[in-house]
Amino acid sequence: MSENMYTFENEEYKHAYRHTAAHILAQAAKRLYPDTKLAIGPAIENGFYYDFDTSETFTPEAVEKIEAEMKKIIKEKLPIERFELSRQEALEFVKEQGETYKEELINDLPEDEIISFYKQGEFTDLCAGPHVDTTARIKANALKLTSCTGAYWRGDANNKMLQRVYGTCFMSKPELDEHLQRIEEAKLRDHRKLGRELDLFATFEEGPGFPFFFPKGMVVRNELVSYWREEHKKAGYEEISTPMILNEQLWHRSGHWDHYKDNMYFTNIDDVGFAIKPMNCPGGMIAYKRKMWSYRDFPSRIAELGVVHRNEPSGTLHGLMRVRYFTQDDAHIYMTSEHIPAEIAAVIDLADRIYKTFGFSYRVELSTRPENFMGEIETWNMAEKTLEDVLIEKNVNYKINPGDGAFYGPKIDFHLLDCLGRSWQCATLQLDFQMPERFDLEYVGPDGEKHRPVVIHRTILGSLERFIGVLTEHYAGAFPLWLAPVQVIVMPITDRTRDYAQTVAVNLENAGFRVETDYRSEKIGFKIREAQMQKIPYMLVLGDKEAESSEVTVRKRAEGDIGAMPLEKFIDDLKKEAANRR
């Protein structure tokens, strides 16, 4: 790697840099706590982590000590050297070190896999690499250990709980400081915290991974669904609903059994095996087969807000972002081959329109054939080229994500970028020639003969629950007017204006707005502060003057006091803002 490539603009170097920092973390932990056993330590999007099995509890003080030791190791300027061993030699080496987790990893490697290690000073670790050439490459003043959490070995709740230490590192201190500031902002925006504070949603020990939505959260959810339905109706979609539990044989037929059974829940009905659906596709195929279709019916765009369940490891659960129960805004588009380019383009346009409503930018990935694919390679090559041609035609910037397609077809993924620059994978579009074959789907062509349709699987929001979590963090709980659970709060200053406050509230409700009235005998400043904490978009302060003139003094959540105006004008302005949905 040439010297001018030693920057984070080079993704390979950034990965090697952070991967090296993970090894330095492991070396520091082993120096301070020699009985520590090493699990895994990868580079991740914004830093790195390492999983440890140790009798030591990694308190914040212990993490600080480890960070200080890491900086010593950096200053030692240790060369980093790679070497290879045969499988038997590698097993003997890690057994000698007492590294049982590394032994398990070696045993899981393919027989022909090259087994490599990296050595720096007294520390050696099983690793495929890559790494930088010396610990001195890592900038000590731009490195920070950020947290320690529990993590099951290999993400399996049946395995031992390990201690995972997270860190981040950059090439300069200002870059680190900026990142740490974003972390602090992200903590304030954490949807789990805001969900409880704003009484929107939560998860409980009685149902890990199964979110509860409360009345205010249901307002956000229902407004989002109404908007989704409105946009899909305009785009020519019809809506269906399919059962949550279907016969086990269906999942064998669809191929999900071979590729997904470990993530599924099962039950028995009348001594027959059934599966709780992890996705909506097979039900959609059955719904299609209820009648014979004509080519004149195509393209047929069928949407579903389908509730699915997935058996996710408990160590991966995270608020609304990673759950076991969620609602997919699914759709299946049935068509002839001639329809494919136009329908792909239409889905891209729909996703773009919806994301812009919420103020999201996004990046796009084209995911290609995975190792466990179904069907013929020639079909996959044609499908991948079709997706790529449409992206090029529409001037969409994209990158290839090799091997990450669905098992039945290549896909286009949309990764939303929120106000902190974080990426969230939401929309996906999958071009499928396999399911129609598996389910023997047919239509009658212009020649009067039966033909096989092509299917696009797609979501826009992805998971409704996850999208609400992303929105909550993106807006920091301060939802735009049309989504806000309470849009206006009316606050009389004294009991003398109570009747006028009620009149104002009724007028607002009759105009279609969600209104609360605060009649409490509290000082107006206290009421305003509480309304601000609840992130209500508009506060109406009503005193004697407002009651006499039939006006309202308006405070806006982000701008403060914007003055008095006639109630009619306020309602007209509110209607325009709500209709704009921006």
> Catalytic: which of 139, 332, 369, 535?
332
The token pair that represents 483 in the structure block: 């989504």
Q: Which of 51, 125, 329, 330 is catalytic?
A: 330
The reply to whether 430 belongs to the active site is no
DSSP 391: H
* Token couple for 198: 């704003």
Examine the residue annotation and report whether 332 is marked as an active-site residue of this protein: yes
Residue 12 CB neighbour total at 10 angstroms: 10
Residue type, 202: A
Helices (H), 358-463: 377-393, 435-438
State both tokens at 304.
């579903």
Which helix (H) or strand (E) segment holds residue 149: the answer is strand 143-152
Out of 309, 411, 474, 527, the active site residue is 411
- Going by the DSSP 8-state scheme, the letter that residue 200 receives in this structure is S
Which is catalytic among the residues 328, 434, 487, 534? 328
Q: What angle do CA 488, 493, 498 make, to 5 degrees?
A: 75
φ/ψ of 433, rounded to 5, equals -105, -5
Q: Which residues contact 344 (CB under 8 A, 6 or more apart)?
A: 386, 387, 390, 412, 429, 431, 456
Active site residue: 30, 102, 137, 457, which one? 457
List the structure tokens of 557: 């959540």
Annotation marks residue 328 as catalytic? yes
Instruction: Kindly provide the residue ranges of all beta strands, DSSP E only, lying in 485-570, ordered along the sequence.
Output: 488-492, 515-517, 538-542, 551-556, 560-566
Look up 310 and say whether it is catalytic.
yes
Q: Could you tell me if 306 and 276 are in contact, meaning their C-beta atoms sit under 8 angstroms apart?
A: no
Is 457 among the residues known to form the active site? yes
Write down the catalytic residue from 23, 310, 339, 474: 310
72 is catalytic: no
d(CA 45, CA 163): 20
CA–CA separation, 528 and 542 (whole Å): 12
Q: How far apart are CA 298 and CA 441, in angstroms?
A: 13
Active site residues: 281, 310, 328, 330, 332, 411, 457
